[in-house]
Amino acid sequence: MRRTPTSPVRRPGRPTGTVPAMTMRLNPQAGEAIDRDDTFTFDWNGRSYPAYGGDTIASALTACGERIFSRSFKYHRPRGLLTASHLDPGCIVQVDDEPNVRGGHRHARAGSRVRSQDTWPSLRFDVKAANGLVGRFLPAGFYYKTFIHPQPLWPAYERVLQRFAHGGVLSAHTPAEAERPRYDKRFAHPDVLVAGGGPAGMAAAVAAARAGAQVLLVEEEHALGGHLRWGGSADLTALADLRDQVAVTPGIEVLTDSVVLGRYEGNWLSVLERGRPDVHERLVKARAKSLVVAAGLIERPYVFAGNDVPGVLLSTAARRLVNLYAVKPGHRAVVFTANAAGDAAAADLERVGVEVVHVEDARHGGDLVRVLGRRGVRAVEVAGGATYSCDLVVTAVGWTAPASLLTMAGDVPTYDARAARFRPDTARLPDDVLATGVVVGDGDLEHLLAHADATGREAARRAAVVAWAWRTALPHRAAEAPPGTEAATRSEAATGTSAATGTGAATGAEQAPDADPVDVPDLPVDAHPELFRAGTHGIVDFSEDVTSQDLLTAVDEGYRGVELVKRYTTATMGPTQGKLEIVNTVAIVAQALGQSIQETGTTTWRPPYAPVTLGALAGRSREPVRHSPMQLWHERHGAVPLVAGAWIRPEHYGDPAGEARTVRQRVGIIDVTPIGKLDLRGPDVAKLLELVYVNRWSKLDVGRVRYGVMCADDGVVLDDGVTARLGDDHYLMSTTSSGAAAVWEWVESWLQTEHPDWRVLVTPVTTAYASINVAGPRSRELLSRLVEGVDLGPDDFGYMHVRTARVAGVDGCVLWRIGFTGELSYEVHVPAGYGLHVWEALLDTGADLGVRPFGVEAQRVLRLEKGHSIVGQDTDGLTRAFSAGLDGLVKLDKDDFVGRPELTWQHEHGDGYRLVGLRPLDGSVVPAEGSQLVEDGQRICGRVTSSRRSPTLGYSICLAQVAAHLASPGCRVSVRLPDGHTVAAVVTEHLAHVDPEGVRLRA
């Protein structure tokens, strides 16, 4: 990506000094990934540094001669580059407000502020390095051993230790919305996903796409190519050819700077996409029909004394610096090599003018002993005692197969002593996971490309088989109802689909793809010397500062297994997560235990393969809310919002007690739109109602409304509400606001699984209507001014009746005469688009009657005065119907209803709590909801479920669940208040504290 050339960014007030020169920058290299026309500066620890476009933070700083980028975790030793890639444990830095950025991977950006992490007071002089001086006092398990006693002091220890922890700094200041990094998610459905965009990955992707597959090719680096990118001219030629093929082959989508984090059930793959222009990171959830793992190999560090001194590099790091970034990693080098990569590194260094003073060849018995130097390599001692003065030591001692994705798919890597690495056992992989490239075996480029080509074609073939299996595995749509029967016709009509035109049974006869499996050639496996640790001790885990001596100590102390040693020493538990250090860890533990590496085994690779931010997992910030059509009006009129599930609704308009008095004395209106509403049609609705409600429904006449309670089959109260019969085969059911979705599913489950023969069509209409309850002694007078076509007189429109009418000019409004508040009231369901119009019309028309809006809080008070219970508040997940004050409602003589057997037995035994009205004798005390009732001063015998001060009565009132023997009117109980005091209370005669006879309701 080219940037507009920028002048060096200088922010006022910050020290910049002179901009250092790129003294270690080489002349242009054939395969370099930098753009020399794009120059800019960025800030490193307060000083301005130059960089080219395409430079990583590490390459830009190295080009200016910087060698120390961090301090190590435990001993605070100076650390430089090791891998010069995303994995590099020595170059984890803070960039602006973002901590833990991989400096070996992240591109330098003009004007950004980069700092080293966790150094104090500075990178050059870090006081915590004193830990290194006392290193022999910080052995394995030091923290466990030292800080665990005495236990009360742990919080103090923790505060001190926190200062020593790695992890960067998050600004306490939350950036403005526009400046905040944005994250997103995406779903992808490729036929073949190729994890790894090196030569094998590219060849496999091309082969799969040519075979007709849609391919997603994911590469962790900033460009396709893998190790070819830092190779010689033959490699670069091959790379250009492969890139061309990827570019011209249709059906390949390439994601660079992206990494497959994990593989889950059914090839569900999470891919982290970084560095997009629009969002900081994006999580791609990909369902791949087949997966090709072409993860390449990771070069392994060597364990010897001083192996973490700045200037000790892996051969791949040296080649990347020279060939990708045109950076000279040092002046005088000693190369320790056991393979072609090390030889090539030595040749690269010589070519660009680094003096290679010595090549120590492990294939001929060579070995390293120790590096001398502290802030940088001064010299290295090799086997035999010779010491070479140098500032760069390059090691090439072997490879680790990053088999994470394969392990997540069921593979168990086995140790191949001849190749000196764990290799995946591809025979253990499921059919939809394949592997290719050097993660599987060795061979020259031709071998690898042939293997990848065959693997890609086979992946496409298997993807086609999977696609066929997905299409044909679909169950028949109407197992209980063959096509043409009444039930089948009903369900087809209900979903608007027909089996004949859908994706279901009609395709069941499709032939399986019959292409022959592709013959994938075997890859040769090259012999490689086994090199893990020299005769000296050094760092094994560079992130966690775990030495080989620590591992031996752990084994000595009885941790006789690699998983135990890992947990005790924290080896492999740092940011590199074992990718660099696992094989060395296993080898050293195996040696200490006197067993083979295969016997010792490896730790388990688990997702995520690479670090992922919580932002990427969370995705974009999105919290859907529901509003009634009147919500804006409420807000404009001072409503205090109440979050009720997904709904935002008015809790009150500033004076809940006054609102309640308005309803008792005049008339109030409340927005009850969230009440669940189900439109039920069909000849069998009455059967459905008889089944799901505990009470009786067969005799409900057209024009009538009835209250009903639903229980589950365990007898526990599930929901309640009123249902109206609008026509012979047409009902409107209401549910609690919070139960709207669950009741719909509940009703559908009984219809679809137990009674598919019943003819009932259920349509949720909760938001199709705006619902307004008009309550109070003057509600009839108010509503009669707006209603046309219906006489509201008590004889024509009695309590528990329903009418359809025109209200304020709006046709199709449904009026229920019910009374949750205990007052004469009408619930008006208005087609939602006219909700606000009718609401405002009621307020305008009723101004002279003193009409006021009231909120949920006033409604709660009013219903408590009336003794109406709320499911989920006055009942809980154990409350059966006879404990909820519903004795009169449950019709045990019905043949069946959901919960009938349990309720029959509850009725016979009379067990469980009872819901009662309760009045504290001291009417000024309102016991908190949830307060326990106690008997004999200690035994819990119930609890307060609802409590308020009644504005109508002027004293406190409650509903409570109380043990059956205390449930009779006049019984006295003690209420234990949260502050420990108790208050005496008496069980009232009725649940209702106001108007128990219902005179007001039936007015």
> Which residue in the set 176, 479, 614, 999 belongs to the binding site for other proteins (CB under 8 A)?
479
Asked if 185 contacts 619 with a C-beta cutoff of 8 angstroms, the reply is yes
CB of 694 to other proteins, least distance (A): 12
Binding to other proteins (CB under 8 A): which residues in 904-923?
905
Cβ-count burial of 505 within 10 angstroms (0-12 exposed, 13-18 middle, 19+ buried)?
Answer: middle
* Stretch binding other proteins (CB under 8 A), from 63-71, 262-270, 440-448, 654-662: 262-270
When asked if residue 502 is in the footprint of other proteins (CB under 8 A), the reply is yes
From CA 846, how far away is CA 783, in angstroms rounded? Answer: 9
> Which residue in the set 16, 65, 243, 264 belongs to the binding site for other proteins (CB under 8 A)?
264
* Stretch binding other proteins (CB under 8 A), from 128-136, 369-377, 467-475, 971-979: 467-475
From CA 228, how far away is CA 323, in angstroms rounded? Answer: 10
- Return the number of the residue (695 or 974) whose C-beta is nearest other proteins: 695
From CA 379, how far away is CA 383, in angstroms rounded? Answer: 14
Instruction: For 357, list phi and psi in degrees, rounded to 5.
Output: -80, -20
When asked if residue 268 is in the footprint of other proteins (CB under 8 A), the reply is yes
Q: Are strands 332-337 and 392-396 parallel, antiparallel or unpaired?
A: parallel
From CA 716, how far away is CA 746, in angstroms rounded? Answer: 14
From CA 134, how far away is CA 761, in angstroms rounded? Answer: 78
> Which residue in the set 350, 748, 781, 876 belongs to the binding site for other proteins (CB under 8 A)?
748
Q: Which of 504, 502, 500, 499 is nearest to 472 (CA)?
A: 504
CB of 497 to other proteins, least distance (A): 6
When asked if residue 462 is in the footprint of other proteins (CB under 8 A), the reply is no
Asked if 43 contacts 15 with a C-beta cutoff of 8 angstroms, the reply is no
Q: For 876-938, where are the alpha helices, taking DSSP H only? A: 900-909
* Stretch binding other proteins (CB under 8 A), from 371-379, 491-499, 610-618, 849-857: 491-499
From CA 603, how far away is CA 842, in angstroms rounded? Answer: 71
Q: In the numeric block, which tokens belong to residue 317?
A: 């790091």
CB of 495 to other proteins, least distance (A): 6
Q: Which amino acid is at 420?
A: A
From CA 621, how far away is CA 183, in angstroms rounded? Answer: 8
The b-or-e profile of 246-284 (16+ CB within 10 A means b, else e) is: beebebbebbbbbbbbbbeeebebbbbbbbeeebbbbbb
From CA 203, how far away is CA 193, in angstroms rounded? Answer: 13
- Return the number of the residue (423 or 907) whose C-beta is nearest other proteins: 907
* Stretch binding other proteins (CB under 8 A), from 356-364, 472-480, 630-638, 721-729: 472-480
When asked if residue 489 is in the footprint of other proteins (CB under 8 A), the reply is no
Convert residues 697-736 into a mask of x (bound to other proteins by CB under 8 A) and - (unbound).
Answer: ----------------xx----------------------
> Which residue in the set 473, 509, 614, 999 belongs to the binding site for other proteins (CB under 8 A)?
473
Radius of gyration of the chain (CA): 38
> Which residue in the set 249, 497, 804, 982 belongs to the binding site for other proteins (CB under 8 A)?
497
- 3 state DSSP class of 671: strand
* Stretch binding other proteins (CB under 8 A), from 52-60, 309-317, 386-394, 466-474: 466-474
H or E stretch covering 645: none
Q: Which of 400, 437, 406 is nearest to 421 (CA)?
A: 400
* Stretch binding other proteins (CB under 8 A), from 4-12, 495-503, 609-617, 730-738: 495-503
- Return the number of the residue (561 or 607) whose C-beta is nearest other proteins: 607
When asked if residue 831 is in the footprint of other proteins (CB under 8 A), the reply is no
From CA 613, how far away is CA 404, in angstroms rounded? Answer: 19
- Return the number of the residue (481 or 783) whose C-beta is nearest other proteins: 481
From CA 831, how far away is CA 767, in angstroms rounded? Answer: 9
Q: Which of 343, 338, 345, 354 is nearest to 317 (CA)?
A: 345
When asked if residue 470 is in the footprint of other proteins (CB under 8 A), the reply is yes
> How many other C-beta atoms lie within 10 A of the C-beta of residue 923?
14
CB of 349 to other proteins, least distance (A): 48
> Which residue in the set 477, 533, 914, 1000 belongs to the binding site for other proteins (CB under 8 A)?
477
- Return the number of the residue (128 or 287) whose C-beta is nearest other proteins: 287
When asked if residue 474 is in the footprint of other proteins (CB under 8 A), the reply is yes
- Return the number of the residue (157 or 470) whose C-beta is nearest other proteins: 470
- 3 state DSSP class of 990: coil
* Stretch binding other proteins (CB under 8 A), from 310-318, 741-749, 840-848, 856-864: 741-749
Binding to other proteins (CB under 8 A): which residues in 139-168?
none
CB of 444 to other proteins, least distance (A): 39
- Return the number of the residue (474 or 790) whose C-beta is nearest other proteins: 474
CB of 754 to other proteins, least distance (A): 7
Q: Between the CA atoms of 601, 603, 604 and 608, what dihedral angle is there, to the nearest 10 degrees?
A: -150
CB of 740 to other proteins, least distance (A): 14
> Which residue in the set 179, 265, 516, 623 belongs to the binding site for other proteins (CB under 8 A)?
265
CB within 8 A of 490, min separation 6: which ones? 759
- Return the number of the residue (367 or 432) whose C-beta is nearest other proteins: 432
* Stretch binding other proteins (CB under 8 A), from 241-249, 260-268, 344-352, 593-601: 260-268
Instruction: Please write down the HEC assignment for all residues of 854-866.
Output: CCHHHHHHHHHHH
When asked if residue 188 is in the footprint of other proteins (CB under 8 A), the reply is no
Instruction: For 172, list phi and psi in degrees, rounded to 5.
Output: -75, -20
When asked if residue 510 is in the footprint of other proteins (CB under 8 A), the reply is no
> Which residue in the set 138, 223, 505, 800 belongs to the binding site for other proteins (CB under 8 A)?
505
Binding to other proteins (CB under 8 A): which residues in 877-896?
895-896
Give the C-alpha distances (Å, rounded to integers) separating 537 from 303, 549, 560: 7, 6, 20
When asked if residue 471 is in the footprint of other proteins (CB under 8 A), the reply is yes
CB of 730 to other proteins, least distance (A): 21
> Which residue in the set 745, 848, 893, 936 belongs to the binding site for other proteins (CB under 8 A)?
745
When asked if residue 504 is in the footprint of other proteins (CB under 8 A), the reply is yes
Q: Which of 942, 270, 159, 849 is nearest to 606 (CA)?
A: 270
When asked if residue 979 is in the footprint of other proteins (CB under 8 A), the reply is no
CB within 8 A of 511, min separation 6: which ones? none
- Return the number of the residue (264 or 388) whose C-beta is nearest other proteins: 264
Q: Which amino acid is at 528?
A: H
User: How many residues in total does the chain contain?
Assistant: 1003
- The footprint of other proteins on this chain (CB under 8 A) covers a number of residues equal to 34
Q: Which of 734, 710, 763 is nearest to 829 (CA)?
A: 734
Give the C-alpha distances (Å, rounded to integers) separating 356 from 81, 343, 897: 19, 11, 89
From CA 650, how far away is CA 281, in angstroms rounded? Answer: 38
> Which residue in the set 599, 728, 754, 757 belongs to the binding site for other proteins (CB under 8 A)?
754
Convert residues 279-298 into a mask of x (bound to other proteins by CB under 8 A) and - (unbound).
Answer: --------x-----------
* Stretch binding other proteins (CB under 8 A), from 392-400, 473-481, 532-540, 582-590: 473-481
From CA 972, how far away is CA 968, in angstroms rounded? Answer: 9
When asked if residue 767 is in the footprint of other proteins (CB under 8 A), the reply is no
- Return the number of the residue (522 or 713) whose C-beta is nearest other proteins: 713
Q: Which residues bind other proteins (CB under 8 A)?
A: 264-266, 268, 287, 470-471, 473-477, 479, 491, 495, 497, 502-505, 713-714, 745, 748-749, 752-754, 895-896, 900-902, 905
